[in-house]
């Protein structure tokens, strides 16, 4: 019994020892687990803090053109990259919204959001616009130069009235994708005519009704076309502005003339041209008709070295509308080796300072070229110095054949000195004036001697009055300067008070005389005029009346010549 009790006591003690051992194991295990948990929590805390310190999970940016960089999302300098390039490419800087982006950095993957926002209202300039009567205008037509980083829509703040002819104010509301709104004030013209009328060139000039809109036909009696019909050109490809009036309101339409009809062309008969000539494409055309202007061109340049054989020549005739008509003719090139013939060349004799007409009486003929070029080589001539100088006439035909003829120009020292002129003038006065003549009779005799004895001929020298008077008295030819200076010499010889007068600066200069026989200054113009007229002792009122009716023939500076009767 006692032994059994001792045995039970020993078994119970062993069990307690085992239990205490298991409890100690569980305690150490719990301590280990707790330590691991604490370590995990510590590591997690440290990692979370590092996670939070690396990137911005949300970022905002103003709409516009920009480049997205991963560095824009980093809080500090760490290694990072976008995980998905497609997400980056999907970001549209001109469309507001939230765009997801995935970033890799170390052990972590971050899901970030980029927000594109538009906070700046749009900018735009007002633009006036014309609207056809009865049509619905579009708001966008009343603004221009819109500036915004996102799409902008235009709407009317108050819808305009397209049936109210004339000008009215409009307000346009511009709204971008960010919801920002800008108001723009403009105006519109409501017009009862077509903005564009297209017609074929050569058509009759359109009347007012052709421009009117069908919807405005009942307003025809109130619309006036103020552009003159004779100012509208229907024979050109062009846009012309046509003006109209509706009450006090004016507006315009565009008349567009176009040419869609090709030219009607008839080719000329076969041509024969000399070698060396330059063929003209128009020369191969007999007739060409079109509503607009025409140009002519060879389809291919003729071969001017193909002698004696007919070749086909194609000419393209193009009108102002770009329509082309092609016609063909033929050309035969003949070999031209004969030079032109120069006739009528003679030696010339002049006085120093005289003008020279080198081609007077000279003609040129050629066996093939009807329009031979004639040059005169006068490079060695000195017209103001006495002497004999060579001159050479050179004729060149289209084929390059040349002919030359030599002549001489003899320049003689002018005899137009004052003593000679006075002597010649006194000889004339002695023949036409007597002592018993009145002052007016003397003027009459001088006037008709100059008129009847001098033949009009242009002369460029208007500087030497003695030379001009000498030409009139001696050779009986010259221009208004010669007539005037011849009259001056004769008036001086007759003892009549006189002075020379000329026109105010015009495109040409005319010379005549003023005379005074004791009654004041009167006009005395001996030069004959194509329109006729006698200017013997004419008062100023009469000569000015004539001048006004004959291209201002006798306008002069009254301050220089005061006191003319």
Which residue, of 284, 301, 334, is where some domain finishes? 334
Helix axes 439-453, 480-493, angle to 10 degrees: 140
Task: Tell me, yes or no, whether 328 and 351 share the same domain.
Answer: no
Task: Tell me, yes or no, whether 394 and 424 share the same domain.
Answer: no
Task: Tell me, yes or no, whether 454 and 512 share the same domain.
Answer: yes
Helix axes 418-432, 439-453, angle to 10 degrees: 110
Task: Tell me, yes or no, whether 442 and 532 share the same domain.
Answer: yes
* C-alpha radius of gyration, the chain, whole number: 53
> Facing residues of 182 across strands?
174
C-beta of residue 118 within 8 angstroms of C-beta of residue 138 = no
In a domain, 2, yes or no: no
C-beta of residue 516 within 8 angstroms of C-beta of residue 558 = no
In a domain, 174, yes or no: yes
In a domain, 481, yes or no: yes
Which residue, of 158, 191, 224, is where some domain finishes? 191
Q: CA-CA distance, 48 to 115, in Å (whole number)?
A: 25
What is the count of structural domains for the chain?
Answer: 6
- Whole-angstrom CA distances from 331 to 192, 265, 271 are 58, 18, 5
C-beta of residue 316 within 8 angstroms of C-beta of residue 284 = no
Task: Tell me, yes or no, whether 211 and 239 share the same domain.
Answer: yes
DSSP 474: I
In a domain, 80, yes or no: yes
> Which structural domain range is residue 515 located in?
418-549
In a domain, 326, yes or no: yes
C-beta of residue 54 within 8 angstroms of C-beta of residue 78 = yes
| Backbone angles phi and psi of 328, in degrees to 5 | -125, 145
The alpha carbon of residue 77 and the mean position of all alpha carbons in its chain are separated, in whole angstroms, by 62
- The per-residue pLDDT for 268 is 95
**CATH code, domain with 71:** 2.60.40
Task: Tell me, yes or no, whether 424 and 401 share the same domain.
Answer: no
In a domain, 295, yes or no: yes
In a domain, 25, yes or no: no
The SS3 of residue 357 is coil
Task: Tell me, yes or no, whether 525 and 431 share the same domain.
Answer: yes
Burial class (CB in 10 A: 0-12, 13-18, 19+), 258: middle
Helix runs in 389-470, H state only: 418-432, 439-453, 465-470
Q: What is the pLDDT along the chain (565 residues), one digit of tens a residue?
A: 555 656 666 667 777 777 777 767 777 677 766 666 666 565 555 555 555 678 888 999 999 999 999 988 998 888 899 999 999 999 999 999 999 999 998 888 899 999 999 999 999 999 988 888 888 899 999 999 999 999 999 999 999 999 888 889 999 999 999 999 999 999 998 889 998 999 999 999 999 999 999 888 888 888 999 999 999 999 999 999 999 998 888 888 999 999 999 999 999 999 999 988 889 999 999 999 999 999 999 999 999 999 999 999 999 999 999 999 999 999 999 998 899 999 999 999 877 767 788 998 899 999 888 889 999 999 999 988 889 999 999 999 988 899 999 999 998 877 678 899 999 999 999 999 999 999 999 999 999 999 999 999 887 667 788 889 998 999 899 999 999 999 999 999 999 999 999 987 666 789 999 999 999 999 999 999 988 889 999 999 999 999 999 988 999 988 888 889 8
Give the DSSP H/E element, type plus range, for residue 196: strand 196-200
Task: Tell me, yes or no, whether 398 and 374 share the same domain.
Answer: yes
Side-chain-side CA neighbours of 291 within 13 Å: the count stands at 21
**CATH code, domain with 281:** 2.60.40.10
Which residue, of 364, 395, 412, is where some domain finishes? 412
Q: CA-CA distance, 539 to 543, in Å (whole number)?
A: 6
Task: Tell me, yes or no, whether 74 and 99 share the same domain.
Answer: yes
Task: Tell me, yes or no, whether 535 and 456 share the same domain.
Answer: yes
Task: Tell me, yes or no, whether 492 and 434 share the same domain.
Answer: yes
Tokens of 463: 């500087």
Give the DSSP H/E element, type plus range, for residue 370: none
Task: For the chain, give the number of residues.
Answer: 565
In a domain, 33, yes or no: no
Nearest residue to 129 via CA among 146, 141, 140: 141
Task: Tell me, yes or no, whether 495 and 455 share the same domain.
Answer: yes
- The per-residue pLDDT for 42 is 59
C-beta of residue 135 within 8 angstroms of C-beta of residue 195 = no
């Amino acid at each position: 019994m006692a032994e059994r009790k001792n045995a039970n006591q020993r078994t119970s003690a062993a069990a307690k020892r085992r239990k205490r051992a298991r409890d100690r194991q569980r305690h150490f295990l719990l301590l280990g687990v707790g330590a691991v948990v604490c370590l995990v929590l510590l590591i997690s805390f440290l990692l979370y803090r590092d996670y939070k310190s690396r990137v911005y999970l949300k970022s905002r940016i103003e709409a516009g053109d920009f480049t997205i960089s991963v560095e824009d999302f980093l809080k500090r300098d760490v290694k990072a990259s976008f995980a998905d390039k497609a997400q980056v490419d999907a970001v549209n800087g001109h469309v507001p919204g939230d765009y997801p982006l995935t970033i890799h950095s170390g052990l972590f993957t971050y899901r970030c959001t980029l927000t594109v926002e538009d906070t700046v209202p749009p900018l735009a300039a007002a633009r006036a616009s014309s609207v056809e009567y009865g049509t619905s205008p579009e708001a966008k037509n009343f603004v221009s130069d819109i500036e915004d980083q996102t799409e902008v829509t235009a709407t009317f703040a108050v819808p305009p009235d397209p049936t109210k002819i004339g000008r009215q104010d409009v307000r346009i509301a511009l709204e971008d994708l960010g919801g920002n709104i800008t108001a723009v004030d403009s105006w519109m013209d409501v017009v009862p005519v077509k903005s564009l009328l297209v017609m074929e060139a050569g058509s009759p000039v359109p009347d007012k009704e052709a421009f009117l809109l069908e919807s405005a036909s009942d307003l025809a009696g109130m619309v006036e076309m103020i552009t003159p019909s004779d100012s509208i050109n229907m024979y050109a490809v062009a846009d012309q502005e046509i003006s109209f009036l509706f009450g006090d309101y004016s507006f315009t339409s565009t008349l567009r003339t176009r040419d869609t009809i090709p030219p009607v062309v008839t080719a000329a008969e076969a041509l024969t041209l000399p070698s060396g000539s330059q063929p003209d494409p128009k020369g191969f055309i007999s007739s060409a008709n079109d509503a607009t202007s025409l140009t002519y061109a060879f389809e291919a340049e003729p071969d001017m070295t193909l002698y004696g054989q007919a070749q086909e020549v194609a000419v393209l005739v193009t009108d102002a509308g770009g329509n082309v008509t092609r016609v063909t003719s033929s050309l035969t090139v003949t070999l031209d080796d004969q030079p032109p013939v120069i006739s009528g060349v003679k030696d010339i004799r002049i006085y120093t300072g005289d003008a020279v007409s080198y081609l007077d009486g000279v003609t040129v003929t050629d066996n093939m070229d009807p329009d031979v070029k004639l040059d005169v080589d006068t490079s060695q001539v000195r017209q103001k110095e006495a002497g004999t100088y060579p001159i050479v006439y050179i004729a060149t035909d289209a084929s390059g054949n040349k002919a030359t003829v030599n002549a001489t120009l003899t320049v003689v020292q002018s005899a137009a000195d004052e003593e000679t002129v006075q002597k010649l003038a006194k000889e004339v006065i002695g023949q036409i004036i007597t002592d018993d003549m009145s002052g007016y009779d003397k003027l009459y005799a001088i006037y008709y001697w100059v008129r009847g004895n001098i033949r009009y001929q242009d002369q460029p020298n208007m500087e030497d009055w003695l030379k001009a008077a000498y030409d009139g008295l001696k050779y009986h030819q010259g221009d208004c300067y010669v007539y005037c200076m011849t009259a001056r010499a004769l008036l001086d010889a007759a003892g009549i008070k006189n002075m020379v007068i000329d026109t105010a600066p015009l495109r040409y200069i005319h010379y005549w005389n003023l005379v005074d026989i004791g009654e004041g200054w009167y006009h005395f113009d001996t030069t004959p005029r194509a329109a006729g007229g006698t200017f013997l002792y004419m008062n100023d009122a009469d000569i000015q009346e004539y001048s006004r009716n004959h291209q201002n023939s006798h306008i002069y500076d009254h301050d220089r010549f005061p006191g003319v009767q």
